[in-house]
C-alpha cells in the first residue's frame, strides 16, 4: 500500500496557554498512514488529538509539513472531510438531501438526477433510505451522525477525519454505529482517522491504534491484528485492552 497521509515534524502551539509553559500542543509529531487504514487515536484530554485533526483538515496554521498523496496541504479541501462530535454540523433549515447535496454543488455537480442518485446511494450506505425530505430536527442524534457520515462519503474524500463522533450517543446506538462504520470502512476506498476516549471503540474499529501522551507525542503505535468482528470475547482482546488502559493510567 502507498502512503495517503504523511506528517513530518508537525508543531502546533497556542501562545499564552496556561497549561503549557511555551503553549506547545504538538511538538515534532510524525506519522505515515497508508491507504484504507482505519487509524484510531486515544489519549488523555488536552494531549492534542483534536488539534492534530484540525491541522490535517487545514483548519489550523502549523509548523512542519502535511502531505496528502505526496501533495503538500495547508488549506481545507474535499480530499479531507471532518465529521464532528456535536449534532449541529447539519444545516437545520435544509432537508437531509439538501444537506448532502450542498457540498456536492459547491464541488461543481449541478445535474439534478446525478445529485439525487448520489444522495440515495449514500443514504442507503448509512441505512437511512427514505429520509431525504426530513429536516435535522426530525432526526435522532444517531440519525444526524449518519447523515453527516453520508455527506462526507458522498464527496469521495481520500481521508475522513472523525472527532469522537459517537461520544454523545447512548451505548446501544453507539455500538450499532460502530458496526455500521466498520462495514463502510471495509467497502469504501477511504482512509479514516478517528479520535476516541473509548478503548473498546478503538479496538473494535481500528486497524491501527495510536496512544498519545499528555505531552502530545506518540506513546504507543499498535497494528491491530485481532480477527474481526472484534468483541470482548475475542482472543487477545483483554490483553490489548489492558495494554492501553495501563498506558493511559501511567
Helix axes 96-106, 112-125, angle to 10 degrees: 120
Q: pLDDT band at 215, cuts 50/70/90?
A: confident
Rg, C-alpha atoms of the chain: 18
Return the H-helix or E-strand segment holding 205. helix 199-205
| pLDDT in the model for residue 216 | 84
H helix or E strand, kind and range, residue 185: helix 171-187
**pLDDT mean across residues, the chain:** 93
Question: What residues contact residue 50 under an 8 Å CB cut-off, 6+ apart?
Answer: 163, 195
Q: Which three cell numbers stand for residue 120?
A: 440515495
Q: Tell whether the model's pLDDT for residue 21 goes beyond 60.
A: no
Q: For residues 86 and 132, which has the higher predicted lDDT (pLDDT)?
A: 132
**Residues 123-149: b if buried by 16+ CB within 10 A, e if exposed:** bebbebeebbeebbeebeebbbbbbbb
Indicate the helix (H) or strand (E) that contains 51.
helix 49-57
Distance CA 118, CA 211 (A): 36
pLDDT band per the 50, 70, 90 thresholds, residue 16: low
What is the average per-residue pLDDT within 64-83?
93
pLDDT band at 198 (very low <50, low <70, confident <90, very high): very high
Q: Domain residue spans in the chain?
A: 3-79+158-249, 92-156
For the domain covering 3-79+158-249, report its CATH number: 3.40.50.300
User: How many other CB atoms are found less than 10 A from the CB of residue 114?
Assistant: 12
pLDDT at 147 over 70: yes
Q: Which of 11-25, 187-201, 233-247 has the lowest mean pLDDT?
A: 11-25
* Residue 14 predicted with pLDDT over 90: no
Reported as a single tens digit per residue, the pLDDT across 77-131 is 999 999 998 877 899 999 999 999 999 999 999 999 999 999 999 999 999 999 9
pLDDT number for residue 88: 78
Closest residue by Cα to residue 39 from 58, 54, 53, 60:
53
pLDDT for 163-189, tens place per residue?
999 998 999 999 999 999 999 999 999
Q: 1-25 b/e with 16+ CB inside 10 Å = b?
A: eeebbbbeebebbeeeeeebeeebb
Amino acid at each position: 500500500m502507498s502512503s495517503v497521509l504523511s506528517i513530518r515534524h508537525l508543531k502546533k502551539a497556542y501562545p499564552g496557554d496556561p497549561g503549557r509553559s511555551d503553549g506547545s500542543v504538538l511538538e515534532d509529531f510524525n506519522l505515515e498512514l497508508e491507504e484504507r487504514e482505519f487509524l484510531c487515536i486515544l489519549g488523555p484530554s488536552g494531549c492534542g488529538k483534536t488539534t492534530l485533526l484540525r491541522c490535517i483538515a487545514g483548519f489550523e496554521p502549523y509548523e512542519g509539513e502535511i502531505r496528502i498523496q505526496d501533495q503538500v496541504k495547508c488549506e481545507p479541501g474535499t480530499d479531507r472531510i471532518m465529521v464532528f462530535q456535536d449534532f449541529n454540523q447539519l444545516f437545520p433549515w435544509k432537508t437531509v438531501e439538501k444537506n448532502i447535496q450542498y457540498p456536492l454543488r459547491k464541488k461543481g455537480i449541478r445535474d439534478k438526477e446525478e445529485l439525487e442518485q448520489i444522495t440515495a446511494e449514500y443514504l442507503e450506505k448509512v441505512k437511512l433510505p427514505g429520509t431525504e425530505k426530513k429536516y435535522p430536527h426530525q432526526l435522532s442524534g444517531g440519525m444526524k451522525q449518519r447523515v453527516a457520515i453520508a455527506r462526507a462519503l458522498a464527496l469521495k474524500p481520500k481521508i475522513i477525519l472523525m472527532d469522537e463522533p459517537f461520544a454523545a450517543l447512548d451505548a446501544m446506538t453507539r455500538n450499532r454505529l460502530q458496526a455500521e462504520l466498520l462495514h463502510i470502512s471495509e467497502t469504501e476506498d477511504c482512509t479514516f482517522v478517528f479520535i476516541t476516549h473509548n478503548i473498546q471503540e478503538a479496538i473494535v474499529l481500528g486497524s491501527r491504534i495510536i496512544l498519545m501522551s499528555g505531552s502530545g507525542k506518540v506513546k504507543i503505535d499498535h497494528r491491530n491484528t485481532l480477527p474481526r468482528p472484534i468483541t470482548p470475547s475475542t482472543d487477545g482482546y483483554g490483553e490489548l485492552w489492558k495494554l492501553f488502559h495501563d498506558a493511559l493510567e501511567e
